[in-house]
Amino acid sequence: MTGAKNTNNDIFLDESNLNTLKNLGQSGKNIKVGIIDGLIEKNHPLLNHMNIYYSYVSEEKQTTHGTAVCSIVGGKSVGIAENIEVYNIPVFHEDSQGKLQGCSELTLAKAINEARLQGCHIINISGSSLSVNGRGSDDLRKAVNRCQQAGILIISAVGNEGVNQESLPASLDSVLAVGACDKDGYPAKFNNFGHKLRKKMLLAPGISIPVAITDSNISLVSGSSFAAPIITGFSALIMRALSLHGNIQAAEVVSKLLFETATKLQSPALDRQIFTLHRLNISSLLQRVQQELILYPQNRNAIMSTEDSIIIPSSTDLYPAPESIITPATEENESYIFNESNLSTQPQSSSLTLPKINDSAANNYVHSPINRVKPQADFDARHVRSQEKVFLIGTIGYDFGTEARLDYFTQVMGNGQGHPFDPQQMAKHLVAGDNIEQSDALIWVLKVDGIPVYAIKPDSQFAVLEYARIVNFLNDQEEEGVERVSVSGIITGETRLFNGQVIPTVSPVLRGMFNWKSRDLAELVMGKDTLATSKTDELMNFINRIYYELRNRGYDSHERAINYAATNAYQMREVFDDAYKESLFLNTISAAVSPVSRPDSDCWDVVLEFFNPKERLTTARKLYRYTIDVSDIMPVTIGTLRSWYVY
């Protein structure tokens, strides 16, 4: 193995190439960057020229980490794109000792969704968590996928543990993973390098980076946390230079350009196979941007004074199929082989550590403070609209949270005789005597397919009644064979379960808590005289399809509309009475935004399509539509049932 030659010019921020790229990209003008980090000190001398907006007014102190990251992206003198607009979503916090604390994946997913809804073109996440498989939680994957569909580029640090393991969110497919390298271009030894990360890691300077820190100071810092914002800054320049902001292909085009112009590095992995890393190459990146501006003059956003130095482009195009790759003709794009003796070791700054984003594994804790809201019963209907509402269909369960709480129930259920993990025994214990008062010592959970989705935490003036109803739900489920539970409420925070999994906490509303058996609900809707008939069986099929085929978390508006449709007995009777007369069977269920809505409402049209299985080619399908307003905690049907035939 031979060490790479010094390729300092291709990675470090030489004034000539950087200034030219800044001019082409107008220093990121009109590009909005979401910085999901700690609270930024916006009045710092290096940051007071920027438009920095916060997601909420916070009384927490500004963090050194967030301020440093922001200064790399767009700070005076030390930043890449000084004209960007920053939307700061503080999810990392400093404790009383000044130590930076991370957040849960759920909190991160909410922050990503907020950045997307606020119109950010690029999202920087200088935080990570080790992961076994790099998949992350459902909420996190969903938030990232929505950004991908909207053309929003997410850039994340790979983490500083220096292990052959995945990290989140960097390992997720559409996230641009960034590792650190030193001023000689060698990868930092502290970078995480799991199998997924090796395939998608882009290296950028991350050793001894000058940054702004709190109290108007400046410092040198190291870590992948500070390599990520360098790529964020360059992405803003590219996006502006090529007028990509707002384009649904923007993230894909920028990522492709960064990797195609990067210098390739090769190193033996732990399995003795060669793997390739990519390192930011500013000179090649500049040439490529200039080429693109000639190929696509409509993307030119400024009169350039550097046209004499523009390289004549090839006929290859940035936008077509992935196989068409332009390789700038510079020697820095050769593949270099390095060995471990060249690698930079640990980050040099002990004052700035990478925030942790906790995945749902044992021994992980939720460090970020819970943003509690008042119990929903204290709100009038006008205030509820802005809250995070859920309407979920599932099954009831419970959790202990800690060893101490498990030991408590082991004792009160009769040491050695009671088994707290047995839901049947727990149900019998809680309904016996005055034991129901122990119900608030459990973490009650709502499950879908046996997986905890929400923790139920009554906190309104009806909390006693809500706990009693939950205990009855468990008893009915274990003793009477009740199959389903529906709960509506408002998300009020997060709860860590006994196994370390973090799930949202829901404050339920008593009028939205029900349980049932499918057959009993069918009897209620269709009448006792139809019991054990094909009419009842068809309605049971509808209820089961809602639960199994369309199972969801009951969080998004269309999910709450569909779930409510499955529990609205009056509307179901109207539909199935009519459909049964014509020997029609359910085909599909869907929900779409209603074209006509009341002011301040969130109306969705639930459409049920029926067909005649015996005459599929000769008989028209029949559609039934009714509108559900999900703007309140408890959804409500508005208007009348409509039906029509389609061919």
Q: Using DSSP, state whether 520 is helix, strand or coil.
A: helix
Q: Is the dihedral of CA 370, 371, 376, 377 positive or negative?
A: positive
Q: Judging by beta carbons within 10 Å of its beta carbon (0-12, 13-18, 19+), is residue 411 exposed, middle or buried?
A: exposed
> What tokens does 292 get?
């693109």
Tell me how far apart the alpha carbons of residues 223 and 205 are, in angstroms, rounded to a whole number: 9
CB 335 within 8 A of CB 276: yes
Q: What kind and span of H or E run contains 254?
A: helix 250-260
Please report which residue ranges of 344-396 form alpha helices under DSSP H: 381-384
Q: Using DSSP, state whether 397 is helix, strand or coil.
A: strand
Please report which residue ranges of 101-249 form alpha helices under DSSP H: 105-117, 138-150, 195-200, 224-241
CB 101 within 8 A of CB 92: yes
Instruction: Establish how many alpha carbons lie within 13 A of residue 184's alpha carbon, considering only the half-sphere containing its beta carbon.
Output: 11
CB 150 within 8 A of CB 247: no
Residue 343 has a CB neighbour count (10 Å cut-off) of: 17
* 93, 367, 581 from 139: Cα distances, Å: 22, 18, 42
Residue of 129, 171, 174, 225 marked active site: 225
Query: CB within 8 A of 142, min separation 6: which ones?
Result: 109
- Find tokens 């970078």 and name the residue: 191
Q: Is the dihedral of CA 512, 518, 521, 526 positive or negative?
A: positive
Residue 434 has a CB neighbour count (10 Å cut-off) of: 6
Residue of 10, 27, 44, 65 marked active site: 65
Tell me how far apart the alpha carbons of residues 554 and 507 are, in angstroms, rounded to a whole number: 14
Residue 463: what residue type? A
Tally helices (H) and strands (E) across the chain. 17, 27
CB 153 within 8 A of CB 180: no
CB 507 within 8 A of CB 489: yes
Ramachandran class of 412: left when φ > 0, alpha when ψ lies in -120 to 50, beta otherwise: alpha
Q: Active-site residue 65, yes or no?
A: yes
CB 635 within 8 A of CB 629: yes
Tell me how far apart the alpha carbons of residues 100 and 93 are, in angstroms, rounded to a whole number: 6
Residue of 10, 37, 602, 629 marked active site: 37
Q: Active-site residue 171, yes or no?
A: no
Q: So which residues are the catalytic ones?
A: 37, 65, 225
